[in-house]
Amino acid sequence: MTKWFDTNYHYLVPEVGPDTRFALLHQKPVAETREATAAGVSTRPVIVGPITYLLLSKSTAPGFNPIEKLDELVAVYVQLLSELKAAGAKWVQIDEPALVCSRPFDLSASVDRVYSRLTEGSDRPKILVATYFGYPGVALQTLANAPIEGIALDFTASARDCNLADLRHIGGLGEKRLVAGVVDGRNVWAADLEREYKLLVELRSLTSDLVVSASSSLLHVPIDVDLETDLEPTVRPWLAFAQQKLSEITNLTLALNEGVVEIADVIANNAQILESRRTSPLTRRDDVRSRSAAVTSASAQRKSDYATRVQMQREALQLPLLPTTTIGSFPQTTEVRNARAALRKGEMDEATYERRMRLEIDRVVRLQEDLGIDVLVHGEPERNDMVQYFAEQLDGYVFTNNGWVQSYGSRYVRPPIIAGDLSRPAAMTVRWSEYAQSVTSKPMKGMLTGPITMLSWSFVRDDQPLAETARQMALALRDEVNDLETAGIRVIQVDEPALRELLPLRDEDRPEYLKWAVDSFRVTTSGVGDATQIHTHMCYAEFGDVLDAIAALDADVISIEAARSGEVLLDELRGYDYRNEIGPGVWDIHSPRVPTKQEIVGHLQRTLEVLSPNQVWVNPDCGLKTRAYPETEASLQAMVAAAQEVRSTL
């Protein structure tokens, strides 16, 4: 399972090899179309396009690229189109979002071949090819030349200018239908109806068949703002979830068909809402803005370089070679969850809750001491979720009661919304870390979620560059890092598991993103003294192609998922001169399976072929929150024993 482009929705990755045979087995789209037709509903089935399907597939054989199977796969699509037509479909939408991503090879010939083949003959519905999450670039020309009947394009901020320029450049689509994604299918904000109307008027000169739409599936947004009766009344009208986006689409369509006067009052109201958002004290805080404007390169720079810091940290922490640690969370027991729920419902008072959490911290500290772990964690029992927990304590966020969006299968998340300028009114984690440090003489790691991960698992503002939101977030978190240090915490971890998730889909946009992403981490962590050890943690992705950015974070230590991805990280590190300390995960925490000591020893030995002994930390792939205690204890025992065994050979 992996994330669908740069969204937080997951899909199962198909695995395709030289011997894979394709056949149409699954009848769902055809059966549902037939059912709709029988009920008198004319529907447009949506299927993943063959190019996207194969580009997202994983090869099962070295040297084989799934795209080589394109012609074989297209034969099945020909059959599917014919069955959809028989079921009553007049149009079919074929999604090819992969066309908006940079590729090392040119896809035009494939696009041309596939869509010529699919349009041969008349035993098929009309074909609409949809691209979204960006602009398709040169592939647009190929699609425009193909004998398909329609093209859907993304006209939201990131793609708008390019798609418009490219459409003009190719002289429009003539008779082809243009489905214009002017309403953002991925954010939660009300559209600027006047601006979109003007764009649509221009687009009307580039096709004789214009359809107003959302830029992508509405799967990525919650359903209905009207359900959010607890939202601040000033903020609520700024928002548009799926239901409101549909109204935007029908209003814009009405304006195009009947004249803009038909929606004059809607536009006036919309303009007022946008103005209220622009001028609200929530979205413009002078103190936050002037602080952010004052950030310089010095704010993103530790006092000394790593070579100097590492000496001071070794002196201060006195750790053995191959120090052991964990990523932060310990199993969240039913008692812990119940206590949190009781506090939320007002059934438990603050004092009782704090006592319960402290007992849990005591238990987790004792366990780690008994196991002989070197750098301890407090276990994060007080956190419902690593983003939500901080969002609730930052100014500038708003929350929904019902704003669930699908993550995968039956799993939903409810992302908090960054609506305004961000700041931290009071310390968020200090009392927990301080308490945890007070019950042990071993170093206790402070534990924070980093700025990029905060952004990527929240809904973000669309009224300022993401880089600016990241800088505000970094400054708020920097205050927390500094306060942890003042409270005596000597090791502070800033988690950035999502660093790679926001990586732009096109190569040309990546350097700029990586620059501000790295800067935001550095601003967060650069306020502390040289002897304070900054850790970061990453997981959920293969990081080989962003190693430069990881090195540029200049974290003293990184713990990074490695076991789950079959140690590809070690191969990536082999040719890379990584200087700081690093703990490639030694076991995959996504399964309850307990690793043997021998297996971890093997892992460490392979790690030591690539990295020097005084650079390597020993830790699991990720946090232990979703695991149960018995397997956690057994696994940690094996980990510590393996570290001791390998240590004794050094």
Select 164 or 636, whichever has its Cβ closest to Zn ion. Answer: 636
What residues pair up with 611 in beta bridges, in sequence order? none
Label residues 29-66 b or e (16+ Cβ within 10 Å = b): bbeebbebbeeeeebebeeebbbbbbbbbebeeeeeeb
Considering the complex, state which of residue 215 and residue 635 has its C-beta at the smaller distance from ligand GLN. 635
Residue 536 CB, nearest distance to Zn ion (Å)? Answer: 11
The entry of Zn ion, ligand GLN, none that residue 190 binds, CB within 5 to 8 Å by partner kind: none
Is the four-CA dihedral 180, 186, 192, 193 of positive or negative sign? positive
Residues that bind Zn ion (CB under 5 A): 497, 539, 622
| CA separation for the pair 204, 231 (Å, rounded) | 38
CB of 378 to ligand GLN, least distance (A): 11
Q: Output 217 or 493, the one with its CB closest to Zn ion.
A: 493
- Taking CB positions, which residue lies at the least distance from ligand GLN? 623
Which residues sit at the interface with ligand GLN, rule CB under 6 A? 327-329, 380, 386, 447, 495, 497, 537, 539, 622-623, 625
Which stretches of 425-465 are DSSP H helices? 430-438, 451-456
Question: Do residues 52 and 100 make contact, with C-beta atoms less than 8 angstroms apart?
Answer: no
The DSSP code for 603 is: H
- Nearest approach, Cβ of 74 to ligand GLN (angstroms)? 39
Written as six digits, the tokens of 224 are 């209905």
Question: What single-letter amino acid sits at 417?
Answer: I
Residue 166, both tokens: 């490219």
Distances (CA, A) of 231 to 146, 236, 419: 48, 6, 12
**In terms of CB distance, is 190 or 622 closer to Zn ion?**
622
Q: Of these partners, ligand GLN, Zn ion, none, which one is at the site of residue 107 (CB under 5 to 8 Å by kind)?
A: none
Closer to ligand GLN by CB, 474 or 539: give it.
Answer: 539
**Smallest separation (angstroms) from ligand GLN to the CB of 78:** 43
Helices and strands, counts by H and E, the chain: 22, 19
Q: Which two tokens stand for residue 143?
A: 């699609």
- Nearest distance, CB of residue 21 and Zn ion, angstroms: 37
- 590 catalytic per annotation: yes
Rounded to a whole number of angstroms, the minimum distance from the CB of residue 587 to ligand GLN is 14
Give the residue from 594, 596, 560, 595 showing the smallest Cα distance to 578: 560
Report the amino acid identity of residue 567: E
Phi, psi of 174 (to 5 degrees): 60, -120
Catalytic residue among 10, 535, 537, 590: 590
Three-class secondary structure of residue 445 per DSSP: strand
Rounded to whole angstroms, what are the CA distances from 176 to 128, 173, 206? 9, 5, 10
Q: Which residues contact 51 (CB under 8 A, 6 or more apart)?
A: 67, 70, 96, 98, 99, 107, 110, 111, 114
Q: Which of the choices ligand GLN, Zn ion, none does residue 381 contact, using the CB cut-off of 5 to 8 A by kind?
A: none
Query: In angstroms, what is the minimal distance from the CB of 559 to Zn ion?
Result: 8
Cβ atoms of 379 and 361 closer than 8 Å: yes
Q: Least distance (Å) from Zn ion to the CB of residue 380?
A: 12
Residue 158 or 536 having the CB closest to ligand GLN: 536
Q: Closer to ligand GLN at the Cβ: 158 or 329?
A: 329
Nearer to ligand GLN, 134 or 497 (CB): 497
Strands (E), 23-66: 46-48, 58-59
Token pair recorded at residue 406 = 């699908």
Cα–Cα distance, 625 to 204 (Å, whole number): 53
> Among 308, 328, 516, 288, which residue's Cα sits nearest to residue 420?
288
Catalytic site positions: 590
